[in-house]
Amino acid sequence: MKLKKSLPMLALLFLTGGAMSAQNRLIIEVDKESNTISRHIYGHFSEHLGRCIYGGYWVGEDSPTPNTRGIRNDVVEALKEIEIPNLRWPGGCFADEYHWMDGIGPRDKRPKMINTHWGGVVEDNSFGTHEFLDLCEQLGAEPYISANVGSGTVEEMSKWVEYVTFDGESPMANLRRQNGRNKPWKVRFWGIGNESWGCGGNMEPDYYANLFRHYATFARNYGDNRVYKIACGANGGDYNWTETVMRQAGRHMHGLSLHYYTVPKDWNDKGSATSFDEAEYFTTIQKTLYMDELITRHGAIMDRFDPQKRVGLIIDEWGTWYNVEPGTNPGFLYQQNSLRDAIVAGINLNIFNNHSDRVQMANLAQTVNVLQSVILTDGEKMLRTPTYWVYYLYKAHQDATRLPVSLTCNKYRLGNREIDAVSVSASKDRNGKIHVTLVNADPNNEQQISAQLIGAAVKRVTGQLLTSAKINDYNTFDHPDKVKVTNFKGASLKNGNLSVVLPTKSVVMLELE
């Protein structure tokens, strides 16, 4: 009798893929459209650090590498493919030792300086304000400039805003014209200091809050340019910083930053970008999931002072940070980029999408040749990293309407540790197409997902997939396409319900019509 009862249950488990698939249940509420997922969540960050600017973007007008006014054509075209919405510059720690007037005028007359933060190399200032804003125009991206608060002055910052954005008669506007730019640029996003709790001045939060108010007063609006003032926010879980700065300066800002890096081991030995075991992989994913708690808790503090969510949470530095590649300058932060990094990127972008009522911008660190870059270069060679392809898949979410999702999923277990195996976010674009991005962090088990779409009659599903044979697979200049997007055939529709089989260690984007 017991055996007879067991057989139907065994059959049911077999037909449904076992208990695992029964736990992976997804509900997408298409009839409950929410806020817009700002395209600026898909922003990037480029600092004067290592080979990010020099050799990454900038090769000079006389370079054999094809360029437009000294800016690499291949890098620009690759970034345009992922529809880069904004670019943060010149730092980072470098921003608080950068004096912008050293980077304008004839290049052969610009003073040289030492980059004390990153490698002690000579910075010749050949890439300055005009070059950066030319880059942004070539990319079709909005510039995000970080002003020097740590070693600069209010006057210096105020004159920079005037130089860039004022169309009238003034010493700064006339100096811009003298340097070859007649019309002003539109530059909305201005960061008032960077990591002021650390490399930007080792300040206490109450001191910085007052300093921000002082600087922000003189970041003027000229013509129809409206400055979006971004205050320096917390380092990771420093909730006191957010509390103090919001209380004392919240009404003077439009955005508040947050920095958090995923470091698998510790700051003295961060681990290798490519040589790691499953335990280190698990720790990396576990640590990157902390981003959700950070946004939730910092957001709750911001809600008390700003219940209308007028102030955006700006996560303008995030990503993985490993030991540098062997044989490279330790101050250049050059690291490879594996499928693990793609998994990290997909999870974080899903988190940002799901918190997009508060998260208004995010900037991956850093775009080219530094940390979790989307592009690597070597002389005239260029490749797209696995992380690049995540941005390629997720670009469909830019300025789309967020759809609420509810997910009950399996756990990815290793020893006595467990985390959610699946991450998801969804949106509907202006043409009515629904996009769902899914990540399976489990490197050992595929995930069968049963999804219900409430309020939508969906008739067609297509998809794209990013995965590889091993979790530490990566692209090289000899094999630049080892990890790349392919068509996905693991999704089907039946009676309006969606079934998905996510391969192990994968990122998937589905389009439903």
513 is catalytic: no
Max CA pair span of the chain: 94
SS in 3 state form for 79-143?
HHHCCCCEEEECCCHHHHHCCHHHHCCCHHHCCCEECCCCCCCEECCCCCHHHHHHHHHHHCCEE
Distance in angstroms (rounded) separating the CA atoms of residues 284 and 397: 25
Distance in angstroms (rounded) separating the CA atoms of residues 394 and 352: 12
Find tokens 């392809």 and name the residue: 389
Give the single-character DSSP code of 276: -
**Helix 154-165 × helix 171-178 angle, to 10°:** 60
195 is catalytic: yes
Is 449 within 8 Å of 26 (Cβ atoms)? Answer: yes
In terms of Cβ atoms closer than 10 Å to its own Cβ (0-12, 13-18, 19+), residue 11 is exposed
Find tokens 């008390």 and name the residue: 304
Distance in angstroms (rounded) separating the CA atoms of residues 434 and 462: 11
Q: How many of the other CB atoms lie within 10 Å of CB of 231?
A: 27
| CA dihedral sign, ordered 386, 374, 371, 351 | negative
Distance spanning both ends of the chain, measured CA to CA: 48
Find tokens 């990127």 and name the residue: 345
Is 6 within 8 Å of 370 (Cβ atoms)? Answer: no
Q: Could you tell me the two tokens for 403?
A: 């759809």
Out of 142, 162, 195, 446, the active site residue is 195
Residue (of 406, 404, 500) closest to 450 by Cα position: 500
Residue 288 host element (H or E) = helix 278-288
Distance in angstroms (rounded) separating the CA atoms of residues 135 and 56: 12
The H-assigned helical ranges of 191-261 are: 205-217, 239-249
Distance in angstroms (rounded) separating the CA atoms of residues 322 and 295: 23
Out of 137, 317, 325, 418, the active site residue is 317
Residues noted as catalytic: 195, 317
